[in-house]
Structures are given as C-alpha cells and as structure tokens.
Amino acid sequence: MKQYDVIIIGGGITGAGCARDCAMRGLSVLLLEKADLTNGATGRNHGLLHSGARYAVTDSEAAAECIRENRTLRKVAAHCVEETEGLLITLPEDDLAYQAKFIESCQKAGIDAKAIDPKEAIRMEPAVNPDLIGAVMVPDGAVDPFRLTIYNAYDARLHGAEILTYHEVTDFLKDDSGRVVGVRAHNHIDGSDPEFHATITLIAGGIWGTVLAQKAGVNVGMFPAKGALLIFGHRVNNMVINRCRKPADADILVPGDTICLIGTTSTRIPIEECDDIRITPDEVDLLWREGVKLAPSLAETHILRAYGGVRPLVAADNDPTGRSISRGIVCLDHEVRDGVPGLVTITGGKLMTYRLMAEIATDMICKKLGNTKTCETATTPLTGSDGPALKTDSHTRSSVKAAWGRHGSHIKDIRSESTYETSLVCECEEVSVGEVKFGIEQLEAKNLVNLRRRTRLGMGTCQGEVCACRAAGLIAKSNACAESAKKDLASFLQERWKGMFPVTWGTTVREAQYTSMIYQGLCGLDQWAVETSTTRENPVLSKKEL
Amino acid sequence: MQDNNFQDCVKCTLCTAYCPMAAVNPIYIGPKQAGPDGERYRLKDKAFYDYALKYCLNCKRCEGACPSGVRIGDIIAKAKLESGQFRPGLREMILANTDIMGTLAVPFSPIINPVLKWDISKKLMDGVLGIDHRRTFPAYAGQTFTRWYKKHAKKQQDAFSKQLYYFHGCYANYNYPKLGQDLVKLMNACGYGVQLLEKEKCCGVALISNGMGGQAKRQAKVNLASIRKAGTTVLTTSTTCTMTLRDEYPHVLGLDNADVRDNITLALRFLCEKVESGEIKLAFKSDYQKKVAYHTSCHAEKQGSWIYSLPLLRLIPGVQLTVLESSCCGISGTFGFKKENYEYSQEIGSKLFNNIREANPDYVATECETCKWQIEMSTGFEVINPICLLADALDVEATKQLNQVR
C-alpha cells in the first residue's frame, strides 16, 4: 500500500495551493476532494484581487497581507489575474471625511491609494456613477478563482502530486496511539471505499473540513456567513468599483473575464444549510439596487444568474463562545492543540491569501517531517503563467485570444490543426473543440460542470443553451458512454437554471424559456433528469450504476 | 452602448442560419458570433476583434431573421469601423469612392468602357489591385443623369403643382441615367415635379463597408443637410441608398436623422401608397407583354420593400410575374469585385442563378443595381429596376389624363 507524506482534504484554492507547495518541496502528496475542484467556497465569490484597501481601516494586518499577496499573484499567476485597477468612490450620501482616514490607513498598510478628481475617475471608468463626489484609485484587480485553483492543482500534478476528485473522506484512520495515519474515502464514481495512508493529514476543507474534523475528535468553531452575488451578461466596467465607506452589502462591482458581478451580502447561516444555498428575492433586490448606485447602466444590463457562497469565518482559537471572529489565517497543529498527532487544519484566510496559507501549512508539515526545503511559490510562476505573451496578428482568431487568456502558455497544448478542432463548442465564451479536449484530457474534466470550470463553457449569456449538448457529445466520445452524457446534460442544465431562477425577468426569462423549449420540449431531456446530490454537484455516473 | 441592443440576443442562431456567407465560407464565424457574441469580448478589449468580420456582406438578412430585433448587421459594421484593423488599401479607395470614379470616368466612357472589357486590363486590375479578372465592370454612361436633367428636364419641373425631390445615387448618375429619366417620366405623368437636392454625395455604403467611416460621415452630413433643406419627400430608386440614408446614418455612423427619416422613401413605396389611396392612377400600354421574375434584393428584404414593388408590377396587365425565392445574389456591392471573394460571391449566388434560369423570364426585376451587375454577368438575363419596367409599360398620355395633368 502506498504511503504518502501528506493527504490534503479539500480541493478548493487552499487545498490546491497546499498540494502545489508540498509537492514543490518534494513531499509525496494526495489531494482528496469530495466533488470537483472549486466546488465549495472557492468557486462562489467575487473573484476580486483585493488590494487590501477594503480592510485597511478595520484590519490593517489583513490589509498588509492582501497587498503583499496581490503583488505576488500578479507575478506568479499572471494568467489568472487581470490587472484592472480599482476605484473607491464616494457618493453624495456617503461621508467624504472617510476618504482621508481611508487613504491614511492604506498608506500605513503599504497600499498605494491616491485620491483622484471625480472627473478623472469618470474618464478612466465611464461606467461609474457620474454623481460621485470623491474617488480613490487602488491596485485592485480581478482573479479567476476557477483558473487559479485548477492550475495550482495541475501544477501540483506536474510536481508529482495525485489529485482525486469525487473522493469524499468519510473517516480518519488512527493507529493504537491515537495518531491519525490516513483516511477512508468514498469514491463517488465507482462506489468503493478505499483507504489512504499518510504521515500527516491536512484538513483544507473550509466549513466542510471542520465538520469532518469532529470525526477525529477535534473541534474548530466555524461561523459560516452566506454571501450572495449577481452576475451580469457582459462587462459594464473595466475597473473594479467599490464604495469608499465602511464595508457593507453589495458595494463591490468586479469585471471578470466577459462578465461583471456585484456582491455581496453577508448573512450568518447554520452549517447544515451550507450545502444548499438559495438566493432570496430580497437579496436580489438589494444587490441590484446597490449595484446601480455604483454603475447606473447595470439597471439595463442583462442579468445572467444569482449565486451564493459561504465565507469560512473561524472563531479565534481559544474562544469557545465564538464571539471573537478572525478573518486571519488559522493553522492548527492538532497534536499540540487537541492531542491528536498527524492532523493539521488550515482554514480562515481569503482567496487572496491562499498562497500564504499554503506556505504556513506546508512549513508546519515540513517541520514535522523534517523537510528543510524552503517555499518557492512566491517566486516560481504557476504553470501557464510561465510563458511569453501570445503573439497575435490581424488573422489571429478571437477564440485563440480567449483561450490564451484562460490557459496562458498551455495554449500550445490546445490542438488547432483542423477546422474541426478550431470550431466552437461554446460560442458565447469562444471555447473550441480543441480546448474542450484539452479540458477533458489534461485538466481532467469528467463532466460538464468540470468542463465549465476549466474552460468557461456554459458561463456565457446563453447559459449552456448552445454548447451543453455539443460538449456532452464530446464527453460521451471520450468515455464512450452516451447514456451518462445524457444524464449529465440534464443535470447541467438544471444547475444552470437554478442560478437563473432568482433573476428570471426580462431577457433572462426569454433565454431560459428558449432553452427549456429546446431541451425539454424538443429533445425531451426531462426523462434523463437526475436528482442532484446534496453537494449540489453533478453526479459522475459510472457504467456500473447505469 | 447607446442603441446597441446586442444583449437582447437569445442565441437562437437563426441569423447564422440565414447568413448567405456563413453557408459557403467556413472561415466566417457567422452573424451571431461576429455580432452580439463578439460584442461582449470587444467590450472587454478591442483586441478581440476578429478579422473574419471582413466577410460580412452587410446584406442584413440576419436582422430580418432575428426574432429579438437585434441590429446584428449594424453591430458588425460598427465593429469593423471601430476596430482599426480593417484599413482600406488603394483597391478599397477606388471601389468605394464612387463619386470620384464616376466623375472621372463618365467623360471618357467611350474609351473606358471597352478598355474595362479587355482581357489585358482585367488581368492588370487583378494583378495590381486585386479586383477579380472574371468580374465584368458596369459600363459608365455617356453623360451623367444630373447633366441630362439640367439640359432636358429641369425647366419643365417647376410647372407642376406638386413637387418632390430625388436622391438619384451613384448608379443612376454615372452608370444608368435611364433609371433617373424613367423616374422623372413616371412622376411627371402622375403630376409631380422632380427636383434634385442642392448637393448630393454618394450615400456612403461602400465607404462604410470598406472601413472609411470618417469620409462616410462627412458625405452623410452633406446629404442630410440637403435633405433637411428640401423639407419634403425625397424619393430614391435604390434600396441600398435608402437603407443607408434612413438606417445606417443613425445606427452605424451615429448621425441623428429622426427629423427627416420619414421623408426619405423609396419611389416604389411612394407610388404604391399613393396608388392604394387613390391619389395616383396608372394606365399601361395594352400591347406590353413581358415575362418578369422578381428578385428580392437583400436590402429590399431587410426593409420589406418588396411589399410595394409586387403590387405595382401586378398592375401591369401584360406582365406575367414570377416571384423568385428570396436569396442573396452574392455580390454585395464592392465585396464581389475583390479577388479573394469572387468564388464565395458566385457560390452564394448560384441558387438564385439556377432559379432565374428555370423561370426563364424576359426580365429579372429588382431594385438593386449591384444585383443587376451580378445577375447579368452570371446568367445573361437582363435585369431591370421595377421603376424602368413601370415607365416602359406606362401609357403616358392616359396616365396624365387620369391624374389630370395638363
């Protein structure tokens, strides 16, 4: 039986970052994810490359962490980052006095924030509310959390790590001394329950990780807070727009790839609800109303969908009441804290600080294992971000430029020799047959949702109407099973509909009706509909199950 | 973003199904992708402009097909103009500057017309300019329509109590003055005097499609000023000029023409409406016998103007009318003249050419001049504007009497 140095539980950005760091330091690594990479909190946020400015006034330590990581990610994860820069605007109803305090705090934290003339702000970002009375420019940006996670995992694999998705850890294996020596996992694909052994087990599963930790007799207080967001059909802004005031609901508008999104709300929810987040009409109203204050043209912009995630807020350690919440990074050595050797938890933090979290956790693991290699993730570029810029001329197809934006230097692995390979599967997001094949073969997409996260297929304005059946066909070809592809197609469209449902009016309802007319009315796809599992993840169906 | 309704697209792809270019050219990404889909990317970054957009014919059949009213053709035309990647060369300058070429060519038409037919000059234009050697150039007239008008028609016009203006366009002026003459004959017989605009420039459609937006805008401003000054109905005989003046000026060039848009009208529409309301009566020769096949040009399809042409043609007792299935002839103005487009151009038109051969008419009737060149070159059948057909068949004296013209 294979003995790993470390098993990492959780395929979000933290887990993927840890897997890369551990693998780069020469450890043998296994990452287990119960569904797909980014399925939890990672795939359900703003995608904001924080400058830290938002935390400058309230939490200068977090702000300083953010700006350091901001600068690092621009260098080492260039193909996942878009350097848009950000504005913090003061509207007539806001207190302009806050601006001075804000700039001062930013400077203290090392964030380059400078006040600019409101007219200059309008010139730089024509979509901004023209009534603004003040503007500050900060080094915000956009980061694609799917791409960042998937390429961290890919990089980890290139360094020898094994990544197993759809493997849900169900229990910990302990030896006679009470040391955690591995885990048992349920394989959602073939239904088996294999055991894996490792010297150290690292829990990087956010909210879900803490639930699991209880099985090892460890208690970490988590306070999940739900955040809702709206995605718009195209970009109205090319710079991040924030409100210059104490952080509140729906005050960040981020341009991300072809879309822009407004968020977020913040509502405490019980842990049991984390697996089935529903967006309420009140949340949609609030997001829309506040969003229009940042950029008035949002009022006439097609809304693609609404979604929500859970912030993994952690109770500051040693505070059993949970009143004191930390947004900082929490790395727990359960041998010291709870007398459970072999088990480590990394949690808290933010998408922005994932690399630092991984460094901290890996440092702790290496110390336990006696590995002295130092962390290189702050200087070694992520695979994909390690090549030169794409050379284009006037004949370069826009789909090639789009694919380069998504895969960086790995564009060389996307086949484009034949007309078939360059033809498009997803037209809204310009995903070619070659790119879909790359997603299936190199990035290990097993179903349509996997493919969406790896290529943006189905994320565009038609929400899968045009591309879903084409992509299902390509997946069916790759695994020679048409029946599972049909079920996958049905649940993929169901998942898309779930996000559209809270915002079904105007053009969104026309789009949804048209999609249902094709797939339900014309293709009779409802007979293939499958109950979605509690993890809200598309089931990957094995031939055995069918 | 103003006036750009790309987000109304529900991705039904009907536009691409109706696109004549997408049907024959796998390199062309089709109107849905070139238009509303591409617009999202271009909003992100202008560098996402796709060079394949040069294959758009500007036929606007996509807009006719769109159930959501998305102005797909306009979005593409604008993207081409704004991309900066579609720079006109000498060939584009020559093809698009119809006023300059026409003014230069007409005085020398007896020499130029035969020279343009020589194999050697065709080969030369092919090699040097990239204008396909298989293409037949339209012949230039011996004298322009405006010159004829000043000499032979201007004086008589003031005698009419009702007055109209006429935007003749480049084709009637430099290539086929008979069209303008026939319009004057027809309108005069119905009791209307025909005036020319104070200043008329080419409508600019060829400039728009060849990437010369600035010049198109300057010419458009001259035309709009003259049309405003006219202050009454301005008739046109070309569907393309009509569409450009009415729709492309505001949608593509960003020039507001709302105050005069309704004044600009295809002569056939004006006639049809007046005939229906009883204000105009037409009488035709009893011995006029012709088999006519009507071809709906792309811009007639876009504007729905066939709805006026067909009832008028049906008024002529001796006309046996066949309506051909609406499809693009493939030339698309200057597009089909370009060497690299010739094959596509002919392939697109092949269906129409077969339908014409099958109908075997005396005339093919259509309002579009470039369709005329393409169909005549490709099928050998004579193509005629419905205005000329009406004028030829008209019993002038009887019509005058019916309309109480002295």
Q: What is the pLDDT of residues B23-72, one digit of tens each?
A: 999 889 999 999 999 999 999 888 888 888 999 999 999 999 999 999 99
- Over 90: is that where the pLDDT of A532 sits? no
Between CA B193 and CA B185 the distance in angstroms is: 10
| Global pTM value | 0.91
CB contact under 8 A, A401 and B51: no
Distance from A139 to chain B by nearest Cα, in Å? 19
- Over 90: is that where the pLDDT of A524 sits? no
Between CA B308 and CA B105 the distance in angstroms is: 34
CB contact under 8 A, B47 and A510: no
Q: Does any domain span residue A447?
A: yes
Q: Does any domain span residue A124?
A: yes
Between CA A49 and CA A366 the distance in angstroms is: 29
A-chain residues near B50 (CB < 8 A): 397-398
Distance from B192 to chain A by nearest Cα, in Å? 47
- Over 70: is that where the pLDDT of A145 sits? yes
Q: Does any domain span residue A64?
A: no
Distance from B49 to chain A by nearest Cα, in Å? 6
How many pairs of residues across A and B have Cβ atoms under 8 Å apart? Answer: 71
CB contact under 8 A, A302 and B12: no
Q: Does any domain span residue A384?
A: no
Pair (A337, A441) in one structural domain: no
The conformation of residue B403, written as its DSSP 8-state character, comes to T
- Sheet of B162-167: strand order equals B192-196, B162-167, B234-236, B264-266
Q: What is the pLDDT of residue A540?
A: 42
Pair (A167, A151) in one structural domain: yes
B52 touches chain A (CB under 8 A): yes
Q: Does any domain span residue A183?
A: yes
Residue B325 backbone zone (phi > 0: left; psi -120 to 50: alpha; other: beta): beta
Pair (A130, A153) in one structural domain: no
A-chain residues near B32 (CB < 8 A): 427
Best interface-test mutation with A: which of B3, B5, B49, B50 has the largest number of A CBs within 10 A? B50
- The tally of domains found in chain A comes to 3
φ/ψ of B397, rounded to 5, equals -65, -45
Q: Does any domain span residue A517?
A: yes
- Over 90: is that where the pLDDT of A222 sits? no
Pair (A239, A160) in one structural domain: no
The residue in chain A having the minimum alpha-carbon distance to the alpha carbon of residue B35 is: A428
Between CA A437 and CA A444 the distance in angstroms is: 10
All residues at 6 or more sequence positions from A100 whose CB lies less than 8 Å from its CB, including other chains: none
- Over 70: is that where the pLDDT of A543 sits? no
A275 pLDDT band (50/70/90 cuts)?
Answer: confident
The closest CB to that of A258, out of B40, B52, B85, belongs to: B40
Between CA A262 and CA A246 the distance in angstroms is: 17
A536 pLDDT band (50/70/90 cuts)?
Answer: very low
Between CA A218 and CA A338 the distance in angstroms is: 7
Q: Which domains does chain B have, with CATH numbers?
A: 6-83 (1.10.1060.10), 290-396 (3.40.50)
Between CA A74 and CA A82 the distance in angstroms is: 8
Q: What is the pLDDT of residue B3?
A: 66
Residue carrying the six token digits 């878009």: A82
A12 pLDDT band (50/70/90 cuts)?
Answer: very high
The conformation of residue B140, written as its DSSP 8-state character, comes to P
- Residue A139 class from Cβ within 10 Å (0-12 exposed, 13-18 middle, 19+ buried)? buried
The closest CB to that of A258, out of B8, B41, B47, belongs to: B41
Distance from B8 to chain A by nearest Cα, in Å? 6
Q: Does any domain span residue A96?
A: yes
Pair (A134, A152) in one structural domain: no
The closest CB to that of A258, out of B32, B44, B50, belongs to: B44
Distance from B29 to chain A by nearest Cα, in Å? 9
Pair (A267, A329) in one structural domain: no
Where is the domain boundary, A310, A339, A361? A310
The residue in chain B having the minimum alpha-carbon distance to the alpha carbon of residue A511 is: B10
Pair (A349, A474) in one structural domain: no
Report residue B103 as tokens. 């003014």
What are the C-alpha distances in Å from A188 to residues A168, A185, A440, A535? 7, 9, 18, 11
Query: pLDDT tens for residues B332-363?
Result: 999 999 999 999 999 999 999 999 999 999 99
Best interface-test mutation with A: which of B6, B15, B37, B42 has the largest number of A CBs within 10 A? B37
3-state secondary structure A450-495: HHHHHHCCCCCCCCCCCCHHHHHHHHHHHHCCHHHHHHHHHHHHHH
Question: Between the CA atoms of B209, B214, B218 and B224, what dihedral angle is there, to the nearest 10 degrees?
Answer: 50
All residues at 6 or more sequence positions from B89 whose CB lies less than 8 Å from its CB, including other chains: none
Domain with residue A134: its CATH number is 3.30.9.10
H/E stretch holding A354: helix A354-369
Pair (A408, A472) in one structural domain: yes
Report residue B57 as tokens. 């014919």
Neighbouring C-beta atoms of residue B151, cutoff 10 Å: 10
Where is the domain boundary, A262, A284, A310? A310
Pair (A429, A469) in one structural domain: yes
Cβ atoms of residues B63 and B301 within 8 Å: no
All residues at 6 or more sequence positions from A505 whose CB lies less than 8 Å from its CB, including other chains: none
CB contact under 8 A, A461 and B51: no
Query: pLDDT tens for residues B155-203?
Result: 999 999 999 999 999 999 999 999 999 999 999 999 999 999 999 999 9
Between CA A216 and CA A201 the distance in angstroms is: 11
Question: Between the CA atoms of A373, A379, A384 and A388, what dihedral angle is there, to the nearest 10 degrees?
Answer: -140
Between CA B52 and CA B29 the distance in angstroms is: 7
ipTM surpasses cut 0.90 = no
CB contact under 8 A, B50 and A397: yes
Q: What is the pLDDT of residue A68?
A: 96
Domain with residue A189: its CATH number is 3.50.50.60
CB contact under 8 A, A461 and B41: no
CB contact under 8 A, B7 and A419: no
Nearest to A346 by CA among A324, A371, A328: A328
CB contact under 8 A, B49 and A238: no
Q: What is the pLDDT of residue B4?
A: 82
B-chain residues near A396 (CB < 8 A): 51
Measured over the CA atoms of residue B319, residue B325, residue B327 and residue B330, the dihedral's sign is negative
Report residue A273 as tokens. 């609800």
Pair (A410, A501) in one structural domain: yes
Residue A177 domain boundaries? 3-41+146-221+322-369
Pair (A427, A509) in one structural domain: yes
Pair (A297, A332) in one structural domain: no
Q: Give me chain B's average pLDDT, please.
A: 94
